C-alpha cells in the first residue's frame, strides 16, 4: 500500500447521525464565495432543492444560524454565511489539515510494520449510523419533570421554541439528563400534524410550534412543507397532497405543527 494514500474526511456530527460533512462545508464555502444558494449548488454539483435541504439541516444542527438566506426562486435570492458559519469553516479547514498530518504519519508507520497484516483503512474506518429523521435540533435542557415511570424533558431549541420530550426515567438516568445539558431532538417529517394557527389552540399535543411556510414541494402522493419557526430554524413536515390543498398551503401562510411529546427522540452528542 502506498504511504499517505488516505485522505481524512472530517464530519461534525452528533450521535443522532445528523452531520455537517465535507460536502456541506464545500457548499458553505461556495455560498460564501457566490452569495447565492442557487449559484453555490451549481458550483458543488447538487440540485437547488438539495442545497436548501443542506442549509436547513446545517442551521438546525448548529446552536446559531450559519447561513442567512432570502429565497428568490431557482435563479434569484441571496445568501450570507454568518460569523458562526465562517468560524465553522475555519475550524473545519484547520482540523482537516491537522488530522491529515496525523493520518499520513500513522499510515506510514503501519505500512512499514511487517507485523501488521491488514490495510490501514481497516484501522481508520468504522461504520457510522445515520438517521432518517428530517428534523434534528440542537438544544439545551432547561428542566426535567420527573414521574413514576416517565419524565418530561424541556429542551430549548430556539429563542421562542422549547420542546417537551417524554422519555423514561431509566433513560434520564442512563443519559444523565439534567438542566444545562446539551442534547438533540429528532423528529420525523411524518410526525407533525399541521393546522391553521387559530385551529391549533385546543389540542392534547404538548408541542405546538408555529411558523411561516417558506416552501411547498408537492409529490405524487405527499407534499413536503418547510416552516420557518424562527431563530434560523426550520421544520419539515410531510402531509398528503389532499391536506395541502385543503389547508391551501403556500409560502407566507402561518401554520402550527402539533407534535406529541412521546414522538420526539432525544439524543446526546
- Tell me the percentage of the chain whose pLDDT exceeds 90: 47
Last residue of a domain, one of 130, 147, 164: 130
3-state secondary structure of 159: coil
Residue 131: the pLDDT is 58
Average pLDDT over residues 189-212: 88
Grid cell in block for residue 6 = 488516505
Going from the C-alpha of 200 to that of each of 32, 66, 150, 225, 251, the distances in angstroms are 39, 31, 26, 17, 19
Res 125 pLDDT > 60: no
CATH number at residue 229: 2.40.50.100
Q: Is the pLDDT of residue 27 over 60?
A: yes
pLDDT digits 0-9 by tens, 30-42: 999 999 999 999 9
Q: Which of 114, 130, 146 is the last residue of a domain?
A: 130
Residues 178 and 78 placed together within one structural domain of the fold:
no
Q: How many domains does the chain have?
A: 2
**Domain match, 122 and 202 both:** no
pLDDT of residue 174: 85
Residues 166 and 239 in one domain: yes
Residue spans of beta strands (DSSP E) within 58-201: 67-71, 77-81, 135-145, 150-158, 161-168, 182-187, 193-196
Distances in whole angstroms, Cα of residue 106 to Cα of each of 111, 113, 121, 149: 9, 11, 11, 49
Q: What's the pLDDT band for 72 if we cut at 50, 70, 90?
A: low
Examine the domain organization and report whether 106 and 164 are in the same domain: no
Selection from 126, 133, 129 nearest residue 266 by Cα: 133
Q: Judge if pTM exceeds 0.85.
A: no
Q: Note the pLDDT of residue 121.
A: 41
Q: Are residues 140 and 121 in the same domain?
A: no
**31 and 120 part of one domain:** yes
Q: What is the mean pLDDT of residues 58-72?
A: 83
What mean pLDDT is reported for the chain?
Answer: 82
For residue 197, the tally of other CB atoms under 10 A from its CB is 13
Lowest mean pLDDT among 31-35, 43-47, 105-109: 105-109
8 Å CB contact between 217 and 49: yes
Q: Which residue, 130, 150, 177, sits at the end of a domain?
A: 130
In the structure, what pLDDT confidence band is assigned to residue 120 with cuts at 50, 70 and 90? Answer: very low
Q: How confident is the model over 224-245, as a mean pLDDT? A: 93
Q: What's the pLDDT at 105?
A: 61
Are 123 and 231 part of one and the same domain? no
Least confident among 30-34, 62-66, 69-73, 217-221: 69-73
Residue 117 has pLDDT above 50, yes or no: no
CA distance 181 to 5: 40
Segments forming the whole domain that contains residue 22 = 1-130
Amino acid at each position: 500500500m502506498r504511504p499517505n494514500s488516505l485522505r481524512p474526511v472530517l464530519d461534525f456530527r452528533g450521535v443522532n447521525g445528523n452531520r455537517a460533512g465535507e460536502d456541506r462545508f464545500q457548499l458553505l464555502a461556495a455560498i460564501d464565495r457566490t452569495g447565492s444558494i442557487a449559484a453555490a449548488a451549481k458550483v458543488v454539483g447538487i440540485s437547488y432543492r438539495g442545497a436548501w435541504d443542506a442549509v436547513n439541516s446545517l442551521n438546525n444542527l448548529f446552536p446559531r444560524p450559519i447561513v442567512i438566506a432570502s429565497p428568490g426562486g431557482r435563479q434569484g435570492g441571496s445568501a450570507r454565511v454568518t460569523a458562526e458559519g465562517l468560524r465553522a469553516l475555519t475550524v473545519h479547514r484547520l482540523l482537516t489539515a491537522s488530522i491529515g498530518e496525523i493520518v499520513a504519519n500513522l499510515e506510514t508507520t503501519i505500512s512499514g510494520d511487517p507485523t501488521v497484516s491488514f490495510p490501514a483503512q481497516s484501522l481508520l474506518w468504522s461504520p457510522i449510523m445515520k438517521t432518517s429523521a428530517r428534523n434534528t435540533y440542537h438544544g439545551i435542557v432547561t428542566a426535567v419533570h420527573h414521574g413514576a415511570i416517565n419524565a418530561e424533558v424541556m429542551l430549548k431549541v430556539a429563542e421562542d421554541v422549547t420542546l417537551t420530550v417524554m422519555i423514561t426515567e431509566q433513560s434520564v438516568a442512563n443519559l444523565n439528563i439534567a438542566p444545562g445539558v446539551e442534547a438533540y431532538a429528532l423528529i420525523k417529517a411524518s410526525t407533525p400534524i399541521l393546522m391553521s394557527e387559530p385551529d391549533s389552540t385546543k389540542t392534547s399535543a404538548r408541542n405546538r410550534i408555529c411558523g411561516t411556510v417558506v416552501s411547498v414541494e408537492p409529490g405524487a402522493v405527499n407534499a413536503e412543507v418547510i416552516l420557518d419557526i424562527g431563530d434560523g430554524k426550520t421544520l419539515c413536515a410531510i402531509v398528503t397532497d389532499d391536506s395541502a390543498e385543503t389547508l391551501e398551503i403556500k409560502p407566507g401562510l402561518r401554520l402550527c405543527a402539533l407534535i406529541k411529546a412521546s414522538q420526539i427522540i432525544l439524543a446526546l452528542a
